[in-house]
Amino acid sequence: MEWMDMVAGSSCCFMDEEEAERRSRVMAELKPYCLDLLDLVQHPKKHSPALSALLRFLRDSPTDSLQPFFDYTLFPLLLQLDAAVDDRKQRKIDTEEHEVPPSHKPNRVSDKVAEDVLQCLEELLKKCYLGSVNQMVVILNKLSNGASLSPSVVSEEFREGIIKCFRALLLNLLPCSDSSCSCKQITGLPALLVGDDVLTRPLGRSRKNLGGECLLAFLQTQTASFAIGHWLSLLLEAADFEALRGHRGSAKLRIEAFLTVRVLLLRLALLMH
């Protein structure tokens, strides 16, 4: 028995060392990307190779490799998103006050950088779990700020990227481990989901409660009701705007908006069933 305990202990230590080494490798690759993104906030450029490299890394890495570094990776992406949104808000104000056409005022954060940031954020939200209700609220607020921007000051790809990030967040909200929680009533995904969304984790899986918080159940609280109503309005407005543009409107953006409405309504309907 003592020998077996020793073998088990050495195996556990080996696994711990192996895990530490794996995390060290992930950190070594992530760190320069994240530092470059922080520098990009202070010194904007039209293009950022770091964003393209980070996106490839996120796509190629499994969830268990990325999860320990979720906050570390999320921070510079949200800073860049904040900068892009603030930049375009100011652009809208300047346009209204000075009657300068939006196309004549360049952004500090280029459309290309803003769109690449959203691609990275979407991939991160697909792969990693949120840590708390507060974290979810922060991300939702930042995304809604982007979704609230006038179509005249943001690219079509930016608007689509915001919507896809929101849907990725919703799809990766798993039921918690509390058997009595209302989130256990959720049993399926929308039938019309297409593309990569069908590859997301099945809802039959669960995750441990963090600090007694269930992120899915939070969606049915009064606190969340305003944000949910706001998001439904934003999504429908985005779809309607493209419809009003006629043949110049983006069918792809409309589809993304309606798919996301469907995901959100499914979450709410099954929680309140």
- CA pseudo-torsion sign 93, 96, 100, 104: positive
Question: What end-to-end distance do the CA atoms of the chain give, in Å?
Answer: 52
CATH number, residue 49: 1.25.10
Give the integer Cα–Cα distance in Å for 187 and 271.
10
- Cα–Cα–Cα angle for 14, 65, 123, rounded to 5 degrees: 175
Does residue 138 sit within a domain? yes
**Is residue 264 pLDDT above 60, yes or no?**
yes
Residue 95 is encoded by which pair of tokens? 């346009």
pLDDT-derived band of residue 45, with 50, 70 and 90 as boundaries?
Answer: very high
Does residue 78 sit within a domain? yes
129, 168 contact by CB (below 8 A):
no
* Residues paired with residue 176 on neighbouring β-strands, in sequence order: 207
**Is residue 61 pLDDT above 50, yes or no?**
yes
Residue 36 is encoded by which pair of tokens? 């470059």
Does residue 195 sit within a domain? no
Mean pLDDT for the stretch of residues 173-187: 74
Domains identified in the chain, total number: 1
Mean pLDDT for the stretch of residues 95-104: 53
Q: What is the pLDDT of residue 93?
A: 59
Residue span of the structural domain in which 106 resides:
2-174+221-266
Does residue 210 sit within a domain? no
As a whole number of Å, the CA-based R_g of the chain is 21
Mean pLDDT is lowest, of 9-18, 160-169, 201-210, 214-223, for 201-210
Query: What is the DSSP track for 18-52?
Result: HHHHHHHHHHHHHHHHHHHHHHHHHS--S--HHHH
Does residue 95 sit within a domain? yes
Does residue 106 sit within a domain? yes
Does residue 118 sit within a domain? yes
186, 206 contact by CB (below 8 A):
no
Report yes or no on whether pTM surpasses 0.85.
no
**Is residue 194 pLDDT above 70, yes or no?**
no
Does residue 207 sit within a domain? no
Residue bearing the bigger pLDDT, 177 or 118: 118
